[in-house]
């Protein structure tokens, strides 16, 4: 036995040495380009000489130092708002996203940005390299145009297949920029949880994501632009042309009209900007709620694992939730509290705070591995007095008051990341309450003192009752309570799970991979 163990250790040592040698060779063969030739740029401040700047200045004149906010609950209105603002841009557009797909919504946005640059608007587009599949040539061509710059965050030096870089540069590649922001003329910003892809805007047959954005104008926008600048000029942002070969790249036909930008059934509803949040704001059909607000964000050095202590969003969110006195309502697509989070939330509940969590059920989550990380904490959370609700697929039938549209879809999945405190303070952004958002991914969002938005979010828990499973403890066993027109139905096993699913999720929950989730 001792000889076998020695042989096994020798094999491990040899394998480790071979892997180390391969890593060194791969890094030499596929280096990242130097950044010393990359220029720096800063946001263009809002000006009353632009239409949007003038409109915001007019609204802010009676609310000095305040931020005007307007929630964007519906997906189609969210993409329409971005397109309208892009078409109204006169000075600048700064956009950063974790995912920008080459589907209909992604194409519409890229074309709107292209047309803005052609009008003389300065466009800066920062994308996480994980979310740009199939767009290398398009992004490179756009970045070569006047007034248009594209940068990639933590890019893969291997372009095909990109995941190959994980094998020799895992710890950098495993850190992603999960931020979402759209800033126009330095005057108006949209921040929230939506990426630029059809499933976020209710345009796919397979279903859609329940999410929330906020349109903001006024005091918080320059600070949001400063966050963009910090990421744009960070050590993780590479000009796309330094990463992607551009020799044979040409603009796709959907830019010039030689090719359909997408199916009419998808293009037509997204192009209907009338009645969207941005349209109602620009046409003065709605009054913004003028409140105190701030943007909070991770230091972009987090993308390199070098963020200094105290410069992470989780520190700010922990401090804010520590101050809760009566109620805490948390909505998170992925919820893995970890031991520290469990202790934190349990401490809040012990103060007599009403603490409720809404997350995805097994049948609605799009990442089953994350569900395994969440499932192992359910009993402890319930024992601590924390109410748990899990979204069912039928969420498409829920009313607009619940912050989603009346699409009737039968395949909804929660993607929102919001937090309401004491019915008056709300956080909206990209931060999932899981280890990845806390420690690995770069995140951002708005913290807003708005009883109106907070009340709407608190109300969603009641509105969602018919579209959620209420998870409860019954003698130490988990039960999923489903409320319908005929009363309550009790599930003694997790809905949608087979025996194999339960075994597999239980096994995954025992693996030491929580820090990756």
Domains and CATH numbers, the chain: 33-282 (3.30.870.10), 312-516 (3.30.870.10)
Can you list the alpha helix ranges (DSSP code H) found in 233-362? 253-256, 264-271, 277-282, 313-322, 338-350
Share of the chain above pLDDT 70, in %: 91
Q: Is the pTM of this model over 0.75?
A: yes
What pLDDT was estimated at residue 90? 98
Mean pLDDT is highest, among 16-25, 177-186, 313-322, 369-378, for: 177-186
Whole-angstrom Cα distance, residue 281 to residue 80? 13
Token code pair at residue 344: 């934190």
What pLDDT was estimated at residue 395? 52
Whole-angstrom Cα distance, residue 117 to residue 251? 14
Q: At what angle do helices 75-88 and 264-271 cross, to 10 degrees?
A: 70
Q: Average pLDDT of the chain?
A: 87
Parallel, antiparallel, or unpaired for β 412-414 and 477-484? unpaired
Q: How is residue 262 annotated by DSSP?
A: S
Q: Which sequence positions are flagged as catalytic?
A: 178, 180, 185, 415, 417, 422
End-to-end CA distance of the chain: 37
Among 147, 149, 150, 151, smallest CA distance to 90 is for 147
What pLDDT was estimated at residue 430? 95
Concatenate the DSSP letters of all residues of 364-390 into one string.
T-S-HHHHHHHHTTHHHHHHTT-EEEE
Which residue's entry shows tokens 């913004």? Answer: 288
Q: Tens digits of per-residue pLDDT, 349-392?
A: 999 999 999 999 998 888 888 899 999 999 999 999 999 999 98
pLDDT at 407 over 60: no
Whole-angstrom Cα distance, residue 509 to residue 502? 11
What pLDDT was estimated at residue 475? 86
Among 129, 138, 128, 139, smallest CA distance to 161 is for 129
Token code pair at residue 509: 């929950």
Q: Tens digits of per-residue pLDDT, 337-360?
A: 999 999 999 999 999 999 999 999
Mean pLDDT is highest, among 208-217, 324-333, 465-474, for: 324-333
Among 292, 291, 298, 170, smallest CA distance to 234 is for 298
Spatial contact of 353 and 324, defined as CB atoms under 8 Å apart:
yes
Average pLDDT of the segment spanning 329-342: 93
Parallel, antiparallel, or unpaired for β 92-97 and 122-128? parallel
């Amino acid at each position: 036995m001792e000889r076998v163990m020695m042989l096994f250790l020798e094999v491990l040592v040899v394998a480790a040495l071979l892997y180390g040698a391969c890593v060194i060779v791969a890094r030499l063969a596929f280096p990242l380009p130097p950044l010393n030739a990359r220029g720096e740029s800063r946001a263009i401040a809002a000006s009353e000489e632009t239409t949007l700047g003038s409109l915001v200045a007019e609204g802010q004149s009676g609310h000095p130092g305040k931020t005007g906010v307007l929630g964007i609950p519906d997906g189609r209105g969210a993409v329409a708002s971005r397109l309208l603002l892009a078409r109204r841009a006169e000075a600048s557009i700064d956009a950063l996203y974790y995912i920008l797909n080459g589907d209909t919504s992604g194409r519409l946005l890229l074309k709107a940005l292209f047309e803005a640059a052609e009008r003389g608007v300065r466009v800066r587009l920062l994308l996480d390299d994980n979310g740009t599949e199939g767009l290398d040539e398009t992004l490179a061509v756009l970045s070569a145009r006047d007034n248009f710059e594209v940068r990639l965050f933590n890019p893969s030096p291997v372009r095909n297949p990109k995941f190959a870089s994980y094998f020799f540069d895992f710890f950098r590649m495993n850190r992603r920029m999960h931020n979402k922001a759209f800033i126009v003329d330095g005057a108006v910003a949209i921040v929230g949880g939506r990426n630029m892809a059809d499933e976020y805007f209710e345009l796919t047959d397979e279903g859609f994501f329940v999410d929330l954005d906020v349109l903001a104008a006024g005091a918080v926008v320059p600070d949001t632009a400063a966050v963009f600048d910090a990421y744009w000029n960070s050590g993780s942002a590479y000009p796309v042309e330094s990463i992607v070969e551009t020799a044979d790249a040409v603009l796709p036909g959907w830019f010039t009209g030689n090719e359909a930008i997408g199916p009419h059934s998808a293009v037509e509803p997204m192009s209907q900007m009338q009645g969207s949040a941005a349209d109602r704001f620009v046409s003065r059909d709605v009054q913004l709620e003028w409140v105190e607000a701030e943007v909070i964000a991770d230091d972009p050095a987090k993308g390199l694992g070098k963020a200094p202590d105290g410069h992470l969003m989780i520190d700010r969110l922990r401090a804010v939730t520590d101050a809760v006195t009566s109620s805490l309502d948390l909505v998170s697509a992925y919820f893995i509290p970890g031991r520290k989070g469990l202790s934190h939330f349990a401490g809040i509940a012990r103060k007599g705070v009403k603490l409720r969590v809404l997350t995805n059920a097994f049948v609605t989550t799009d990442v089953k591995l994350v569900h395994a990380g969440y499932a192992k904490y359910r009993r402890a959370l319930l024992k601590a007095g924390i109410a748990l609700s899990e979204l069912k697929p039928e969420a498409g039938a829920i009313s607009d008051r619940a912050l989603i549209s009346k699409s009737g879809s039968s395949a909804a999945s929660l993607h929102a990341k919001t937090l309401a405190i004491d019915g008056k303070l709300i956080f909206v952004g990209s931060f999932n309450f899981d280890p990845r958002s806390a420690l690995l991914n770069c995140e951002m969002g708005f913290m807003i003192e708005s009883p109106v938005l907070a009340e709407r979010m608190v109300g969603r828990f009641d509105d969602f009752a018919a579209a959620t499973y209420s998870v409860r403890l019954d003698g130490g066993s988990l039960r999923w309570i489903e409320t319908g027109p005929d009363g309550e139905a009790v599930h003694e096993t997790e809905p949608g799970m087979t025996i194999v699913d339960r075994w597999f999720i239980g096994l995954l929950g025992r693996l030491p991979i929580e820090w990756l989730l």
